[in-house]
Structures are given as C-alpha cells and as structure tokens.
C-alpha cells in the first residue's frame, strides 16, 4: 500500500536520540561503578580471610592433633569454612562437611602452594553456581595444613544483584528523557511556532534558518508583486472591455437607426444615398475597431520570447505601406515621400507594416492639406546595440506636451485631434507601441504644436 508518508516528528527524533544516550550513559556508569566496587570488596575480603587464616595457624601451631580438631569443632559455625589436613594431605577436619578424613586434599593447588611456600591463596570459579570460592591455606610447622575458605558472589552474580537498583535508575532515565525531550522540543519549536508566514524574517529567528526564510520572504514579495500586477492587468482589461463596448455603441446605433428608417420607408428617395453612405462609414469604423481590438489582444497574448520571426526588409515594408496609403494622402492634398537606407530586422512582417501604416495614417490624418509626410528608414549604432528605425515626420497640428506620453494609451485621443471624425479608433498608437515591444524596440515622439510631429519607431536590428 503506497500510503502517504507521515512527516517526521521532531519531538520523537529528539526523544529517541536522548533516550539512547541516557540509557548508554546509565549502563556504562553502572557497570563501571559496580565493577570498581566489586573489586574493592574482593580485595578487602581476601585480606580479611588471609588474616583469619594466619591467626588460625598461629592458634593451632602449638596444639596437638586432638586439640586442633577440638578447637576447630568447637567454633560457632559461620560463613568461613575450616579444613584441617595432616602432613599427608588427608582431611582430618572439615567444617563444611560432616565426614572427616574422606578425601585427600594434598594435590589442591592452594595446599601445594602452602606446602611449598608456607601460604597459598586461590580463587576458584564455579561456572554453575555463579559463585567464587576463596581459599587461603597455611602450612603449620609439623607439615599440617589449615585451610580457610569463603564463598562469595562472582562479578556476574554481583551485577545481577544490582538489577533492581539498575532498573530503577533506567526508569528514572527514561522518565527524565521524556521530560527533557519535551522541554527541548518546546524550546526549539518556540521561534518556529512564532513564525509569521507573511513576514518570515520578523521576530526571533534562528540564524541557520535565515537563508530559507530569506527565500520565502523573497518569494512572498514576488507573489505580492505578481498579484498586484495581475490585479492591475485585470483592471486594465476590464477598462478596455468597457471602452470597446462604449466605442461600438455609437456606430451600431447609427447603423441600426438609419437602416430601420430606410426599412420603415421613412427616408425620402433622394436621401437614401446619404443614409447608405452613413451606414457604410459606421460599418467601416466598426470593422477598423474590431480589427484593432483583435490585433491588440493577439499582441497581449504573444511575448517577445514566443514570437515567430523572419527577416524583414524595413525599407521595402515602408515603401509598400506608403504605396498603399498614397491615395489617402493624395485625396487630402498631402505630399507623401519615402526613402532612406536599407535596414533588415528579424520579426513579424505584417505587424511591422501595420505599425508603420498606423504612424503614416495618423500623420496624414492630423496634417492639413498642403502639408507633407516624410518616411525615413535607417540604422543607428552597431553590433548588439544596432537598431533599425523608421521615422514618420509630418507638418501637421502637432501634439501638446501634456499629451505626448498619453497618446500611446488605449483609446486616448487629444482634444484637438477630432480623431473620431477621421475614422480613428484610438488604438493605433497602442498597437504601434506593442508592436515595438514585441520586436524588442520602442517608439518615441517629438512634436511642436502647430508645426508638426515626428514619430520614431526603433526595432532591434537582429540580422
């Protein structure tokens, strides 16, 4: 089953680590202490037993065999066992067993040691009993041997006897660890709990987390900015749609009103031509508006990065545009000329032609009869900074300084322009600006009111 993995718990990780440490520490310290204590005890009890053996030897030395047995037998039974052997090693008395004179102990190592050197000390381990036996044998002058022995716990048994205190200690360690891990988790988590996701760098923050929080902070800022931009774009889109509907209303009203009157027979026959002309003009205006809106929305979706590009001969494009608009200029009595140097860019040819066309059309529309419109193509700069440009200069009404930036906004028209009367949509320069951005360029204007304007469209010369 591929269940979702649960996130690791900080308090559990801490608890595990602390517990392992605490248990290990308790165990090591306990074993070390018990071992030291055991060995100290062992040394002391060995010393005591040796003392007791020597003392017994001293007492037994001057006695006869019978006296020796009587002395030993008369002792109050205690933890120490006395064994008396004659010079041949035969056991004459043993306080540990009832029968005497059974076995011969002459070959026991401690007895052999005593026979050779006067004293023998030996610890014998018993695997089954978890017990050690300490033997001390002393040789008497007549060759007899008195041996005292005592049983005591082996180290393992001693450790075993510590099981209960050790267990208690371990329980205390576990409880202490639980408490400590809770406390540590709480202290570690306190600055984290206090984190404000909206403002992660504020407050008491761990230095180690600064890079991460810094990135979160940066992303938050970016998000806020993007949100603002989105909101702005949304607002602009809404405003644009409202403007588009508003711009469409007038021509539609004229078209539907005029055609209705004709249909109802309310128009005198001699006036029908005029009505037809009006309907035609308004339909043309609607078409132009719809075309411009479509162009702009396509440009809004496109970006310079996804643009399709092909080589465009700018001078050729300008010439074709002027040829197309020559009839319009002629009709208004305006001289239109086109020239300059060859310049090639990489881009979208129809869009470039439309941009040049909009500039030239404006120049013709906002220039009085007898004026001139001059289109010049060229290149400036070189290498990466090289730019191809198209200048459109007119001798028309010009643009007031306060309007110069705004005329590139959608639907902005200067008061004096009488833009609508000449069939303007108010979108022409917005399209030029977008087309320029689409080609990594820009558009600028210089103008002297009453004397004329010069628009310059600059495109990145990528070829």
| Dihedral (Cα; 34, 40, 42, 43), 10-degree rounding | 160
Contact status: 397 vs ligand ADP (CB under 6 A): yes
CB closer to ligand ADP, 264 vs 421: 421
CB closer to ligand ADP, 426 vs 441: 426
**Binding test (CB under 6 A) with ligand ADP, winner from 425, 434, 443, 457:** 425
Helix residue ranges per DSSP H, 200-313: 210-263, 272-301
**Residue 362 Cβ vs ligand ADP, minimum distance, rounded to whole Å:** 3
Contact status: 295 vs ligand ADP (CB under 6 A): no
Distance CA 440, CA 309 (A): 12
CB closer to ligand ADP, 177 vs 358: 358
CA angle, residues 183, 185, 188, in degrees to nearest 5: 110
How buried is 359 (Cβ within 10 angstroms: 0-12 exposed, 13-18 middle, 19+ buried)?
buried
Contact status: 354 vs ligand ADP (CB under 6 A): no
Give phi and psi for 161, each to the nearest 5. Answer: -70, -15
383 C-beta neighbours (distance < 10 Å), count: 6
Contact status: 357 vs ligand ADP (CB under 6 A): no
Contact status: 396 vs ligand ADP (CB under 6 A): yes
Distance CA 8, CA 14 (A): 11
CB closer to ligand ADP, 204 vs 421: 421
How buried is 260 (Cβ within 10 angstroms: 0-12 exposed, 13-18 middle, 19+ buried)?
exposed
CB closer to ligand ADP, 52 vs 446: 446
Contact status: 428 vs ligand ADP (CB under 6 A): yes
Contact status: 322 vs ligand ADP (CB under 6 A): no
- Asked if 72 and 145 touch (Cβ cutoff 8 Å), the reply is no
CB closer to ligand ADP, 354 vs 358: 358
Residue (of 328, 346, 361) closest to 428 by Cα position: 361
CB closer to ligand ADP, 192 vs 294: 294
**Residue 280 Cβ vs ligand ADP, minimum distance, rounded to whole Å:** 19
CB closer to ligand ADP, 120 vs 452: 452
Tokens in use for 194? 């206090």
Distance CA 301, CA 292 (A): 14
Distance CA 186, CA 15 (A): 12
Distance CA 192, CA 206 (A): 9
Question: For ligand ADP, which stretch binds (CB under 6 A), given 204-212, 302-310, 330-338, 393-401?
Answer: 393-401
**Binding test (CB under 6 A) with ligand ADP, winner from 80, 137, 293, 363:** 363
Question: For ligand ADP, which stretch binds (CB under 6 A), given 86-94, 153-161, 297-305, 418-426?
Answer: 418-426
**Residue 446 Cβ vs ligand ADP, minimum distance, rounded to whole Å:** 11
Site string for ligand ADP, 117-146 (x = CB under 6 A): ------------------------------
From residue 220, how far is each of 204, 209, 296, 375 by CA, in Å?
Answer: 19, 16, 32, 49
CB closer to ligand ADP, 154 vs 354: 354
Contact status: 424 vs ligand ADP (CB under 6 A): yes
Residues making contact with ligand ADP (CB under 6 A): 358, 362-363, 366, 394, 396-399, 407, 412-414, 417, 419, 424-430, 453
């Amino acid at each position: 089953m591929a269940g979702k993995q649960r996130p690791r718990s900080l308090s559990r990780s801490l608890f595990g680590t602390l517990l392992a440490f605490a248990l290990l520490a308790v165990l090591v310290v306990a074993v070390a202490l018990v071992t030291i204590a055991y060995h100290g005890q062992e040394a002391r009890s060995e010393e005591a037993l040796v003392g007791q053996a020597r003392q017994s030897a001293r007492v037994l030395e001057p006695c006869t065999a019978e006296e020796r047995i009587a002395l030993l037998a008369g002792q109050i039974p205690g933890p120490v066992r006395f064994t008396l052997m004659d010079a041949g090693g035969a056991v004459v008395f043993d306080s540990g067993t009832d029968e005497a004179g059974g076995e011969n102990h002459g070959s026991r190592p401690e007895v052999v040691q005593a026979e050779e050197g006067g004293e023998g000390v030996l610890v014998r381990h018993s695997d089954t009993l978890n017990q050690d036996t300490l033997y001390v044998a002393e040789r008497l002058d007549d060759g007899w041997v008195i041996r005292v022995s005592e049983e005591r716990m082996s180290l393992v048994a001693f450790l075993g006897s510590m099981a209960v205190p050790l267990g208690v200690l371990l329980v205390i360690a576990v409880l202490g660890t639980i408490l400590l891990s809770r406390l540590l988790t709480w202290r570690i988590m306190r600055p984290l709990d206090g984190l404000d996701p909206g403002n992660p760098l504020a407050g008491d923050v761990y230095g180690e987390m600064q890079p991460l929080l810094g990135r979160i902070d940066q992303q938050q800022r970016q998000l806020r900015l993007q949100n603002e931009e989105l909101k702005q774009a949304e607002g602009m889109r809404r405003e644009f749609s409202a403007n588009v509907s508003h711009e469409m209303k007038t021509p539609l009203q004229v078209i539907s009103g005029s055609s209705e009157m004709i249909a109802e027979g309310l128009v005198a026959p001699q006036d029908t031509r005029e009505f037809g002309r009006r309907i035609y003009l308004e339909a043309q205006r609607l078409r132009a508006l719809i075309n411009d809106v479509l162009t702009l929305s396509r440009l809004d979706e496109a970006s310079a990065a996804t643009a399709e590009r092909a080589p465009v001969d700018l001078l050729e494009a300008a010439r074709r545009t002027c040829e197309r608009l020559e009839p319009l200029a002629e009709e208004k009595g305006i001289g239109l000329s086109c020239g300059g140097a060859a310049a090639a860019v990489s881009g979208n040819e129809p869009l470039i032609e439309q941009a040049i066309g909009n500039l030239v059309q404006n120049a013709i529309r906002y220039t009085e009869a007898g004026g001139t419109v001059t289109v010049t193509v060229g290149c400036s700069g070189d290498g990466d900074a090289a730019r191809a440009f198209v200048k459109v200069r007119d001798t028309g009404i010009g643009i007031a300084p306060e309007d110069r930036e705004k005329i590139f906004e959608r639907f902005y028209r200067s008061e004096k322009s009488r833009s609508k009367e000449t069939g303007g949509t108010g979108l022409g320069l917005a399209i030029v600006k977008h087309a320029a951005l689409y080609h990594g360029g820009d558009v600028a204007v210089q103008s002297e009111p009453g004397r004329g304007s010069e628009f310059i469209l600059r495109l990145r010369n990528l070829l």
